[in-house]
């Protein structure tokens, strides 16, 4: 049996790039015709002209932070979904609230089967699924992926630890799905109660950080766990492989890493916001900004899968700050930076000094001088509507962490 889910995972990188660009163009055309919000948002876009990554990067970004208001204006999905009729089998709710469509009509709607397969799930496995089945789609996301592989699922959900342990001891599932912290709890509690859960040999974890200490502990109990990065909106984004060197991007999406607050792709290795175009026609999110930070890694994975790799979840890109009663957004900092090509990179720092909010824009530049500082300060006043200092720093001195607005305020 192949270690790869399908031939897509090992195709030539150039072939994949061409196929994905064509798929994005097709998805744009479909969204224009079937999703009312995109009919309006992409009215000036000709899908036939979307023939390169640069062309796709010029499309407008849809931000997760705006979904709640958009859905209130056009319930339930803000006009972004094309799914209808019997294909829509579920409506889920995430904090916000944000509503997401779900379907068991389309097999593996969220595409988790690929990550589960890589983690060792196979036909005939009995999987203990501890993700929530209540309102949020996490439990169903994993279940439909497992069903696509021919696995049987125990829909355990969250909580009731002792009952879950008894169920595992009785039914002897060989696979685990859930957060790493809950698996850790199950291992500790099973030892305390004297219940045998050693039937579990492999698993897929998600939803939170997967620290090395957990990985080591699980291995000591004979459990090999890989991690997946997925969201309720777009499903699987990337997944860990046996190489354990970053996360390989899923084949069912088009992924970009952009400068927070913008739609501009950043260089390989630079931390930015994860932007995904979902190729599922039922929910054709185009350049959907997840609000998560990550970075592309150079080269392909040693495991043989040739798609791009990302470093995993590295924090949140939502960095809006309220200063002296005014909101400042990363997009405003980007506008200031673009006015002055002498700036290689910038970070707005907010501090509490002398009983007042103080702004300073730290700018990497090769040509620091007073006239430039005055011009940048004027741009801050014009765009942010607030006064701020300008501090020049050496090229390459600002951290590569995706932070555009650093709020360092500490109140006495």
Q: Is 405 helix (H, G, I), strand (E, B) or coil?
A: strand
Q: Give the Cα separation of 195 and 181 in Å (integer).
A: 19
Angle, vertex CA 283, rays to CA 277 and CA 288, nearest 5:
30
* pLDDT one-digit tens code per residue, 320-371: 787 876 778 888 999 999 999 999 999 999 998 887 788 999 999 999 999 9
* pLDDT one-digit tens code per residue, 168-224: 999 999 999 999 999 999 999 999 999 999 999 999 999 888 989 999 999 999 999
Q: Give the Cα separation of 271 and 259 in Å (integer).
A: 8
Assigned architecture for domain 7-314: 3-Layer(aba) Sandwich (3.40)
pLDDT at 23 over 60: yes
> Mean of the pLDDT values across residues 2-12?
95
Name which of 135, 244, 228, 252 is nearest 178 in CA terms: 228
The better pLDDT of the pair 63, 109 is held by 109
φ, ψ dihedrals at 28, nearest 5°? -60, -45
pLDDT at 385 over 90: no
Q: Rounded to two decimals, what is the model's pTM?
A: 0.86
Q: Is 175 helix (H, G, I), strand (E, B) or coil?
A: strand
Q: What is the DSSP letter of 375?
A: H
Long-range contacts of 263-266 (CB under 8 A, 24+ apart): 263/57, 263/58, 263/59, 263/60, 263/61, 263/287, 263/289, 264/57, 264/334, 265/53, 265/57, 266/295
Q: What is the DSSP letter of 281?
A: T
Q: Give the Cα separation of 101 and 99 in Å (integer).
A: 7
| pLDDT recorded at residue 218 | 97
Task: Write out the residue limits of the CATH 3.30.300.30 domain(s) in the chain.
Answer: 321-407
Q: Could you give the strand order of the β-sheet that contains 175-178, starting from the edge strand earlier in sequence?
A: 152-155, 126-129, 175-178, 202-205, 224-231, 235-240, 247-249, 309-310, 296-297
pLDDT at 125 over 80: yes
φ, ψ dihedrals at 34, nearest 5°? -125, -10
| pLDDT recorded at residue 17 | 97
End-to-end Cα separation, the chain, in angstroms: 63
CA distances from 88 to 65, 109, 265, 407 (A): 24, 11, 34, 42
Cβ burial 382-392 (10 Å sphere, 16+ → b, else e): ebbeeebebeb
pLDDT at 412 over 80: no
In percent, the amount of the chain with pLDDT more than 70 equals 99
| pLDDT recorded at residue 410 | 78
> Mean of the pLDDT values across residues 125-139?
95
H/E segment holding residue 118: helix 113-118
| pLDDT recorded at residue 411 | 62
φ, ψ dihedrals at 286, nearest 5°? -105, 120
Residue 394 tokens, joined: 């050496």
| pLDDT recorded at residue 1 | 65
Q: Is 120 helix (H, G, I), strand (E, B) or coil?
A: coil
Task: Let me know: does 24 contact 288? Beta carbons within 8 Å.
Answer: no
Report domain 321-407's class: alpha beta
The mean pLDDT of the chain is 94
Residue 367 tokens, joined: 């040509």
* pLDDT one-digit tens code per residue, 63-106: 888 898 999 999 999 999 999 889 999 999 988 889 999 999 88
φ, ψ dihedrals at 135, nearest 5°? 70, -55
Task: Write out the residue limits of the CATH 3.40.50.12780 domain(s) in the chain.
Answer: 7-314
Instruction: Give the CB-side neighbour count of residue 27, counting CA atoms within 13 A.
Output: 25
Cβ burial 160-186 (10 Å sphere, 16+ → b, else e): ebeebbebbbeeebbbbbbbbebbebb
Task: Let me know: does 310 contact 394? Beta carbons within 8 Å.
Answer: no
pLDDT at 241 over 80: yes
Q: Give the Cα separation of 369 and 367 in Å (integer).
A: 6
Neighbours of 78 (CB within 10 A): 21
Task: Let me know: does 312 contact 247? Beta carbons within 8 Å.
Answer: yes
């Amino acid at each position: 049996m192949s270690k790869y889910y399908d031939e897509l995972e090992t195709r030539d990188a150039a072939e994949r790039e061409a196929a994905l660009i064509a798929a994005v163009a097709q998805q744009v055309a479909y969204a224009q015709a079937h999703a009312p919000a995109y009919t309006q948002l992409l009215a000036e876009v000709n899908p036939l002209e979307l023939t390169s990554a640069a062309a796709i990067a010029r499309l407008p970004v849809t931000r997760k932070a705006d979904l709640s208001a958009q859905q209130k204006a056009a319930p339930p999905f803000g006009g972004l979904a094309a799914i209808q009729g019997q294909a829509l089998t579920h409506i889920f709710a995430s904090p916000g609230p944000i509503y997401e469509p779900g379907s068991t009509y389309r097999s593996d709607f969220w595409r988790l089967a690929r990550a589960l397969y890589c983690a060792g799930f196979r036909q005939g496995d009995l999987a203990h699924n501890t993700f929530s089945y209540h309102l949020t789609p996490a439990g169903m996301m994993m279940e439909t992926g497992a069903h696509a592989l021919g696995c049987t699922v125990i829909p355990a959900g969250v909580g009731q630890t002792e009952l879950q342990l008894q169920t595992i001891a009785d039914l002897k599932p060989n696979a685990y799905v859930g957060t790493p912290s809950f698996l850790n709890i199950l291992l500790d509690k099973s030892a305390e109660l004297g219940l045998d859960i050693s039937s579990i040999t492999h698993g897929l974890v998600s939803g939170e950080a997967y620290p090395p200490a957990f990985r080591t502990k699980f291995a000591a109990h004979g459990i090999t766990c890989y991690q997946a990065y997925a969201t309720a909106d777009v499903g699987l984004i990337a997944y860990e492989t046996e190489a354990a060197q970053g996360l390989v991007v899923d084949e069912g999406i088009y992924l970009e890493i952009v400068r927070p607050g913008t739609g501009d792709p950043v260089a390989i290795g630079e931390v930015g916001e994860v932007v995904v175009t979902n190729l599922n026609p039922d929910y054709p999110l185009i350049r959907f900004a997840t609000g998560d930070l990550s970075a592309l890694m150079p080269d392909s994975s040693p495991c043989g899968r040739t798609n791009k790799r990302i470093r995993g979840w590295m924090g949140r890109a939502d960095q809006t700050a309220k200063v002296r009663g005014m909101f400042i957004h990363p997009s405003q900092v980007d506008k200031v930076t673009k006015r002055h090509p002498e700036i290689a990179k910038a970070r707005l720092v907010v501090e509490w000094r002398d009983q007042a909010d103080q702004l300073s824009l730290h700018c990497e530049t090769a040509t620091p001088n007073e006239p430039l500082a005055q011009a940048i300060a004027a741009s801050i006043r014009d765009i942010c509507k607030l006064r701020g200092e300008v501090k020049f720093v050496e090229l390459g001195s600002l951290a590569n962490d995706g932070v555009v607005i650093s709020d360092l305020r500490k109140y006495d």
